[in-house]
Amino acid sequence: MNYIFTLKYQLADPESDVDALIERLGEAGCDDALVGIGLPGRLALEFTREAESAEAAVRSALMDVKRAIPSATLIEAAPDFVGLSDVAELVGVSRQNIRKLMLAHPDTFPAPVHEGSTWIWHLADVLLWLEATVGYALDQASIATARATLEVNLAKEASRLPAKSARELKQWVA
């Protein structure tokens, strides 16, 4: 099955030769990715990767990029962080429809990762909720991909903590 996801990186050398980077990525197995260079020192790779599972697809892409550009630092795996408009577009309904569901089910709608002028959720949490609670028929590959990218982003952030702090905090945040 094909899984579509994006890996965003910070390059150690913002002046890197883009053509050389693309060549190295292709040689390392990233020939199934569209390469985007936006801001200096940033690289986005949109993969359409065939694998047995979304997790295998994302992990193999991470390994391939690491092999090609060992000094690159992962910023984010997507799709993961989303607003209501993103969810609505993916599901094929209006933003107002998703907002009504959120307001109608305050006890069960997934908690946002961030509240403020913009609210942000983990896509996997919202998709699983829509499927289980509202009965939306959703693409299982999209749910699996969102779950795999969520795990990557959580692992990336958790790796920033010293092991002792992670153990101590786990009891208070769960």
Using a pLDDT cut of 70, give the percent of the chain over it.
95
Spell out the domain ranges in the chain. Answer: 2-78, 81-138
pLDDT of 166 over the 70 cut = no
Sign of the torsion angle spanned by Cα atoms 150, 152, 154, 156: negative
Q: How far apart are CA 90 and CA 123, in angstroms?
A: 10
Residue 174: pLDDT above 70? no
81-138 has CATH 1.20.120 classification:
no
> Using an 8 Å Cβ cutoff, are 112 and 151 in contact?
no
For residue 153 the two structure tokens come to 């982003």
Separation CA 64–CA 67 (nearest Å): 5
Of 47, 65, 61, 34, the closest CA to residue 3 belongs to: 47
The answer to whether 2-78 and 81-138 have equal CATH topology is no
pLDDT tens digit sequence for 101-149: 999 999 999 999 999 999 999 999 999 999 999 999 999 999 999 999 9
What does the alpha-carbon distance between residue 145 and residue 124 come to, in Å, rounded to a whole number? 8
* Separation CA 142–CA 78 (nearest Å): 11
Other beta carbons less than 10 A from residue 136's beta carbon: 14
8 A C-beta contact, residue 77 and residue 70: no
Minimum mean pLDDT range among 23-37, 44-58, 157-171: 157-171
Determine the topology of domain 2-78 in CATH: Alpha-Beta Plaits (3.30.70)
**Residue 33 to residues 64, 91, 95, 144, 168: CA-CA distances in angstroms?**
11, 24, 30, 19, 39
